[in-house]
Chain A
Amino acid sequence: MKERIEELEALFEKALSEATDAAALENLRVEYLGKKGHVAELMKGLRDAQDKKAAGQLINVFKCGVESRIEEATEAMKQAQINARIRNAKKYNPTLAREREFGSYHPITLATREVEDVFISMGFTIENYNEIVDDYQCFEALNIPKHHPARDMQDTYYLDNGQLLKTHTSAAQNYIMKKYGAPLRAIFPGRCFRNESTDACHENTFFQMEGMMIDENISISNLIYFMKTMLSEVFKRDVKVRLRPGFFPFVEPGFELDINCEICGGEGCPSCKNSGWLELCPCGMIHPNVLREGGIDTEKYTGFAFGLGLTRLAMMKYGVKDIRDFNSGNLKSLSQFKSI
């Protein structure tokens, strides 16, 4: 028995060393450990053995040895295969990837969303409004009666049904006040139209964003706070703001709001006409007549309103030099505004 086992061990080692793939190993396993394999055969021979216990132990040691040797060999072979795969792996080149086309947002969408996000975070609601309005909404409700010089400033597109293309987002003020009543905080971005010939700095179609806040004690001090906060968020810096008196019939007092020029840091440069300040947004305390037209109790409530030139803001933010690019549909320029 012992001799037989030693003989088999030698044979097994030889066969194992010659096995080069998984199938050969499997054959070897069947040959030794299978139902009719050498180990089974040895077990049969156990009946005739003198010292069954000792013989049994010898067989068992042999069996375990074969098992672990095959396992080791299988593992080694797997490892060798993986090593071979690694060795033969194709080296990829990320620098040669073909550029995929990305979609793009309109720059106005990007600028609008940025401003909207700031105001949403401060509890303002966003409202959409028509592009076509009545004389009442655009002028009358805003304390701009007929023959008022303010109507001269705005060359309006009139429609053959008597309506007009809104010349400013303020045209939505009356609607919003009537819809929500006081207290109220809302912003309303929208497209505006003025009948003027276009060039690099002028467009007849452009975007503004109007905002209103009405409550019991809204003050000029609050107006400055909200404007400064919003603009600091939008420009991602601590902007300095200053108010100057400005005349708009729908606010009293009315202001022009300037921010310190980013380009020269307030030192004075051609962009800010050497003043160190950029005129950015007209604003003011809502005129009592306008509140009254909107059904708001002027004794109880005050409010402020502002109009932000979104198109101008987008030009400043993205360095767009020609305002006409916005409505050009030219993908060579518009496709650059990839994400938010």
Chain B
Amino acid sequence: MFLSMNWISDFVDLSGLDKKALIRNFTLSTAEVEDIIVKGENISGVVTARILSVENHPESKKLHLLKVDKGDEVVDIVCGAPNVREGMTVALATVGGQVGEITIAPRKLAGYTSYGMCCSEAELGISDDHSGLWELDGTLPLGADIKTIYDIDDIIFEVDNKSLTNRPDLWSHYGMAREFATLTDRPLKAPACVDVDGYKNLPAVAVDVKNTDLVWRYSAIKVENITRKISPVNMRIRLYYCGSRAINFLADLTNYVMMEIGQPMHAFDCAKVDKIEVQTFPEGRKFATLDGVERNIDENMLMITSGDEPVAIAGVMGGDASKIEDDTTSLLLESATFDGVSVRKTTTRLGLRTDASMRYEKMLDPELCRVATERLLALLFECDSGAKVISSFTDAYVKKYPTITLDFDKNYVNRYTGIDISNERIVKTLTGLGFGVKNNGDDFSVTVPSWRATKDVTIKADIIEEITRIYGYDNFEIKTSDSPLRPVRCEKRKSCEDRMKDVLVKNYRLHEVHSYIWSDSKKNAELGIETPDNVKVINAQTPDHAYLRRSMIPTLLSFVKENKSYADSFGIFEIGHTVEGLRPDGTCNEQNKLGVVLYSKTEDEETLFLRARDIAAELIADILHKEPVFTSADAAYGYEHPVNTFAVLAGDVLVGTLAVVHPTVLSNVDKKCAVAFFEISTEAFAAVESGALKYREPSKFPEIDIDVTFTADLAALVFENVKCTAKASAGALLSDVKVADVYTADGVSALTLRFSFVSDERTLTKQELTPVVDKLTADLSACGLTLKA
């Protein structure tokens, strides 16, 4: 929204103050100013002048040679405007003057020298009309600086509409003036009005509000004998500077009052509309609005009708058939308050937002209806003295907002602000903003003015904002709190996830990535992965993104594919959220997961798989101090390998899946590569009770390692079982069993185990261990191990 400082100055005297500084201060106290535009800055030396004679240029059809009287001198002007005419009063930019980018100097045009330039409105920046010269009032004295006659100089500032969402009162110059008056501590002047009580003996307008739930107030008044067609120049300039185009006097007048008072108004041609009903239609229908567009009206949209024929969409736009035309001389003036939510819904459905609807959406103060009418009449009479009111001010005041009174004390203000703002200051601020204030010692009782009471100020905390923003946040003393310190508990899942990231990045040099919470079915299809059914996003941007992801692995596989050229081998991981269908209560079964994918062009799949296994094992052993366990599992998803898919357990708690990729998917990732992955539920992981650190006094005696090689069906072997059997067989002397080597030669798979023995009491000898190892070897046959010959 654009606002004019000239206009604001109608209501508060800001003379002697730095206006730009005031506007900047407005940002800090009220709402963000996005831009400050100085108007008229690049206009100088433009005077009133009269065209004395017009001669055709001998060689040009367009150009004319003029003699122009600029008061002190008659000058030669070469002019190309189509509407030049002898006797016309124009705005002449004189030599040495400035018009926009142009500095005026004697200039040769088609062989003749022009000593100045006659200007259009567009050239002077006061409208977008560049069809011809701006014709001035013939009674003006000649040679007068145009800027002393019209308000071309102005400072316009733009406020972000969004930052005024909660302030319906600021959608007007008068409302803005109230802020400036409070900020500068200067008095606010009321706009000139005509008291409509003076017309109460005239006949009423027929107004029938049928949908009382959607209307707060509907008022109307009729005026006739209006002869003026074009608005006064200064009014047109203000409208133009504030982003509106002048249309005709009556339309301009309603716009002007809306911008000044904040009340949208609609002028119907009284010849076409002389009675009003406010209602919805039970069935949809077509309706042409005054912008010439035919629109579909549905049964929820509140309409203004006249004799049950629609004439306007309430609060949005008037109808084409009843609009003000050039021959309109009488009007029926609507000044009404419609329900904000209803107007907003209507504009959304129609895809039509107007200056009026934007204001209604913010919940306008119904009290404005009468003030706006009274203001409009004052302006009308000022510009068109023949105009005559022919009805009473007919006022259907359906609902009123309750008066809000808020009680608080000084201590409340101190607690909220943390600083000491004096009672006098509180009273002055609130009074300036229009609040009724009763102050007794440290107690305050405040009545909220109607223009703030529609939704904006309803509780005590709202008063704090009024007091503090005017006080100025820059003036606040900055203080730490006096709250006692307490120990900080860190959530376990969060700390597990943080440590996982550290292990993966630092120890395994993996890269952390982020991907979307939804599956990408297009990318999945490229990989040959079927997107699993799941909870759907109703309004996904593309149907490909409709399903939420059940696992992070498919997206990570896509990332791997997209990064093939990054390196021959790399690994990526993501810690994020997935959804595994619904819980019994109907809510999403949201899970927190770690997904890790390793890729290599140079290493074989088994090596990569074992590295993935090592990483998973380290996370469990390092973070939880638990024994990592891997057991064969069925592939749950199509991209998991039917043979090489494993459950990952921390101790005896299932925490995830370790696998290599199904060959079909693998071939879609890359022609020749290996991919291994695991996914861990960080929630299940964090829920595992961490194992305690156990300390064992190291033996003073040396440890003896004995390697034994077995043949075995390696795939079927479960090392955990081997370990248990060995411990049971060898007893306390066996301190550890490790895999020393695994190999396959000539079709025979062999496994070398390293048994470590130690005693706390003495040095062991190989001889005494021989029978122990023999027994061990024999016992291990139960696990499928045969001593290799």
Contacts and interface: CB of A to CB of B under 8 A. Distances in A.
Interface of A: 100-106, 108-109, 113, 120, 123-128, 130-132, 134, 147, 149-150, 152-153, 157-163, 165, 183, 185, 191, 193, 195, 197, 204-205, 213, 215-222, 224-226, 228-229, 242-247, 252-256, 273, 285, 287-288, 302, 326-327, 329-332, 334-335, 339
B28 interface: yes
A163 B514 contact: no
B515 interface: yes
Closest 8 CB pairs of A and B: A219-B418, A221-B418, A253-B465, A329-B559, A103-B505, A243-B473, A103-B509, A252-B461
B31 A245 contact: yes
Contact of B582 (A161, A218, A229, A339): A161
B476 A221 contact: yes
B417 interface: yes
B473 A242 contact: yes
B562 A123 contact: no
Given A128-B494, A160-B535, A247-B167, 19 more contacts: A104-B512, A126-B490, A128-B592, A130-B590, A157-B539, A158-B538, A215-B481, A218-B483, A220-B417, A221-B479, A224-B478, A245-B29, A252-B459, A253-B465, A327-B515, A329-B556, A329-B572, A331-B513, A334-B513
Contacts of A205: 516-517
A329 to B, nearest CB: 3
Interface residues of A: mostly helix, strand, loop or mixed? mixed
Most buried by B among A183, A222, A225, A253: A253
A220 B468 contact: yes
A161 B483 contact: no
Contact of B572 (A183, A326, A331): A331
A287 B461 CA distance: 8
A149 B348 CA distance: 12
B488 A330 contact: no
A329 B560 CA distance: 8
Contacts of A149: 165, 344, 361-362
Contact of A220 (B418, B486, B577): B418
A246 B163 contact: yes
27 contacts: A103-B512, A125-B489, A126-B490, A126-B494, A127-B491, A127-B494, A128-B592, A147-B341, A158-B537, A191-B517, A195-B539, A195-B541, A213-B481, A220-B418, A222-B481, A224-B473, A224-B478, A242-B473, A243-B28, A245-B29, A245-B163, A287-B461, A288-B460, A329-B556, A329-B563, A330-B562, A330-B563
Interface in B96-145: none
A153 B540 CA distance: 18
Contacts of A132: 577, 579, 587-588, 590
Most buried by A among B504, B513, B515: B513
A103 B572 CA distance: 9
Nearest to A165: B517
Contact of B541 (A126, A163, A197, A246): A197
Q: Which of B162, B501, B588 has the most A CB atoms < 10 Å from its CB?
A: B588
A225 B514 contact: no
A159 B416 contact: no
A160 B418 contact: no
Contacts of A195: 539, 541
Contact of A222 (B479, B489, B567, B579): B479
B440 to A, nearest CB: 21
Contacts of B693: none
B106 to A, nearest CB: 38
Contact of B28 (A113, A242, A254, A287): A242
B586 interface: yes
B431 interface: no
A252 to B, nearest CB: 4
B535 A327 contact: no
Nearest to B464: A253
Interface string B519-558: 0000000000000000111111100000010000001101
B567 A101 contact: yes
B537 A123 contact: no
B32 interface: yes
Contacts of A252: 459, 461-462, 464-465
Contacts of A134: 587
Nearest to B28: A244
Contacts of B488: 120, 123-125
Given A103-B504, A220-B416, A160 B538 contact: yes
A106 B513 contact: yes
B461 A126 contact: no
Contacts of A161: 535, 582, 586-588
A153 B166 CA distance: 13
Contacts of B493: 128
Contacts of A130: 577, 590
Nearest to A336: B511
Given A149-B165, A252-B464, A106 B572 contact: no
Nearest to A224: B478
A83 B474 CA distance: 74
B348 to A, nearest CB: 8
A335 B558 CA distance: 17
A159 B537 contact: yes
A147 B361 CA distance: 10
Given A149-B361, A221-B418, A253-B465, A103 B510 contact: yes
A245 B468 CA distance: 10
